């Protein structure tokens, strides 16, 4: 097992991988609660979505761990599930069965692009400075999500954002978790992020901020209401509206996963010669998970940026992905315990992981404006648009512009020009 996952080269141990996988699981566990709620508003059966979500995470994480040796958890994207429900089903009036079939078609296209290595080729031609910008931008984005989930930062009509209520129990608990986790990490305690979550959960239950679980073991809901509906709806997906929907699933899913892979490879120290090792199998795993999830009954999947919490806790290989799968399998039976893992418990981990990832921007050559402007655009637009894919797209639009302005158009890979045109067309017809 150690040889297969290359423990010696990546300088890791079973304990390190276990704690890393457990930390990622805890950071992702909220998805089992949130995804059924979001998709339930589209008319889907919440119980079936719960089971479909768990099984999709189990299979997707196993695939990426075994095939590509990456410490990543694959799960339904929290952005795409909202798009599925509020834009496609509610906004456009498309039945959830037909929308789910659109996810299936997008997944099949993903698999084809992955097998042909189109996705891998695109990721590998991204300039090194932009890869650092993507990793740093995701860091700011993840930290912003953590601050928002903890209600440390809240919306404000006058100033857009402002400080939250520091007398609120959940916010105080999140601040406590942030401080205690920071102290442990500064003192060099491996797994400090995980221990911080455990301590915060206990403190939260003691002071009544978090409800104690009402039970330990629960029944597994049936998949019958959603399983296989995509096959009967296939003739209904070839309409102009559905084609736009499928393209959106493709676009956002493609660059969400690309961003996560770049960030994870960079943070774990396995990015080599500006290329991501085993990117092909990783992308194929992600694409396959989308197909599996759509058949079971859930929205498009993505390689989750929450995986960086596990990497910060020590995960370095695909063995931690197997650990993630194992815990989600157990979660099928112990679902009531997931109520303890609230947003204020996971928020400190996201803030700290963001701080770690932002360090990648130090490698960017800020003295050259032709690099600095596209890099800054990529970084700043991720949190401000609340989208990794949008930040990447805007940065990729600016990169050819600045290079052309200097007459260095020959240094830009042709694929970057194709992406330039594609992104502009996407924003025009979005």
Confidence of residue 303 (pLDDT cuts 50, 70, 90): confident
Please tell me the total number of residues recorded for the chain in this structure.
Answer: 430
Mean pLDDT of the 6-33 span: 89
Residue 79 has what pLDDT? Answer: 66
Cα 393 to the center of its chain, rounded Å: 17
Question: Which pLDDT value is given to residue 253?
Answer: 74
Q: Give the pLDDT confidence score for residue 36 in this predicted structure.
A: 86
SS (H, E, C) 24-69: HHHHHCCHHHHHHHHHHCCCCCHHHHHHHHHHHHHHHHHHHHHHHC
The pLDDT, as a whole number, for residue 213 is 82
- Helix then strand count (H, E) for the chain reads 18, 4
Percent of residues, the chain, with pLDDT higher than 90: 44
How many CA atoms, within 13 angstroms, populate the side-chain half-sphere of residue 273? 1
pLDDT digits over 175-226, tens only?
A: 999 999 999 989 977 667 778 888 998 999 999 999 888 777 878 889 999 9
Q: Give the pLDDT score at 363.
A: 87
Domain boundaries, the chain: 14-359, 360-429
Q: What are the DSSP E strand ranges found in 275-315?
A: 301-303
Instruction: Taking residues 361-377, report their average pLDDT.
Output: 94
109-142 core/surface letters (b: 16 or more CB in 10 A; e: else): bbbebbeeeebbebbbebbebbbbbbbbbbbbbb
Integer angstrom CA distances of residue 94 from 77, 209, 298: 20, 40, 16
- pLDDT, tens digit, for every residue of 53-87? 999 999 999 999 999 999 999 999 876 787 788 77
Calculated CA dihedral for residues 357, 361, 363, 368, nearest 10 degrees? 170
Residue 156, pLDDT above cutoff 70: yes
User: Whole-number mean pLDDT of the chain?
Assistant: 87
Q: Is residue 359 within a helix (H) or strand (E), and if so which, with residue range?
A: none
**53-57, 64-68, 117-121, 165-169: which range is least confident on average?**
117-121
Q: Quickly state the pLDDT bin for 312 (edges 50, 70, 90).
A: confident
What pTM does this model have?
0.72
308 falls in which pLDDT band (50, 70, 90)? confident
Taking the C-alpha atoms of residue 90 and residue 95, their distance in angstroms, rounded to an integer, is 9
Residues 6+ apart with CB under 8 A from 253: 77, 80, 106, 110, 286, 290, 300, 301, 302
Instruction: Return the pLDDT at 108.
Output: 94
Residue pointed to by tokens 């950071």? 27
Q: Which residue has the higher pLDDT, 353 or 125?
A: 125
Please write the tens of the pLDDT for every residue from 251-262.
777 777 777 777
User: Which strand (E) or helix (H) includes residue 427?
Assistant: helix 414-429
What is the percent of the chain where pLDDT is above 70? 97
């Amino acid at each position: 097992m150690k040889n297969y996952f290359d423990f010696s080269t990546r300088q890791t141990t079973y304990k390190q991988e276990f704690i890393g996988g457990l930390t990622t699981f805890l950071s992702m566990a909220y998805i089992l609660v949130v995804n059924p709620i979001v998709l339930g508003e589209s008319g889907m059966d919440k119980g079936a979505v719960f089971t479909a979500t768990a099984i999709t995470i189990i299979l997707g994480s196993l695939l990426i761990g075994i095939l590509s040796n990456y410490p990543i958890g694959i799960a339904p994207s929290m952005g795409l599930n909202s798009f599925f429900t509020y834009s496609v089903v509610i906004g456009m009036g498309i039945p959830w069965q037909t929308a789910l079939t659109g996810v299936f078609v997008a997944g099949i296209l993903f698999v084809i692009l992955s097998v042909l290595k189109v996705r891998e080729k695109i990721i590998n031609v991204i300039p090194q400075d932009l890869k650092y910008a993507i990793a740093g931008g995701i860091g700011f984005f993840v930290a912003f999500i953590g601050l928002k989930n903890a209600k440390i930062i809240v919306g404000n009509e006058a100033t857009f954002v402002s400080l939250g209520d520091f007398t609120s129990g959940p916010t105080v608990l999140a601040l406590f978790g942030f401080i205690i986790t920071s102290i442990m990490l500064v003192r060099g305690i491996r797994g400090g992020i995980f221990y911080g979550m455990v301590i915060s959960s206990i403190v939260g239950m003691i002071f009544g901020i978090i409800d104690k679980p009402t039970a330990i073991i629960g029944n597994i809901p049936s998949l019958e209401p959603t399983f296989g509906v995509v096959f009967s709806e296939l003739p209904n997906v070839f309409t102009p509206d559905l084609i736009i929907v499928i393209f959106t699933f493709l676009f956002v899913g493609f660059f969400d996963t690309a961003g996560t892979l770049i960030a994870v490879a960079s943070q774990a120290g396995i990015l080599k010669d500006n290329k991501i090792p085993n990117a092909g199998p990783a992308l194929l795993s992600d694409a396959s998970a989308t197909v599996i999830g759509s058949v079971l009954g859930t929205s498009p999947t993505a390689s989750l940026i929450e995986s960086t919490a596990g990497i910060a806790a020590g995960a370095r290989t695909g063995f931690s992905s197997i650990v993630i799968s194992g815990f989600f399998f157990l979660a099928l039976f112990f679902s009531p315990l997931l109520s303890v893992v609230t947003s204020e418990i996971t928020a400190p981990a996201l803030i700290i992981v963001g701080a770690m990832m932002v360090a990648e921007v130090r490698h960017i050559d800020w003295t050259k404006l032709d690099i600095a402007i596209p890099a800054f655009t990529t970084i700043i637009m991720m949190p401000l648009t609340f989208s990794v894919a949008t930040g990447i797209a805007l940065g990729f639009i600016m990169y050819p512009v600045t290079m052309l302005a200097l007459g260095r158009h020959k240094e830009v890979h042709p694929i970057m020009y194709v992406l330039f045109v594609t992104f502009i067309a996407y924003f025009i017809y979005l």
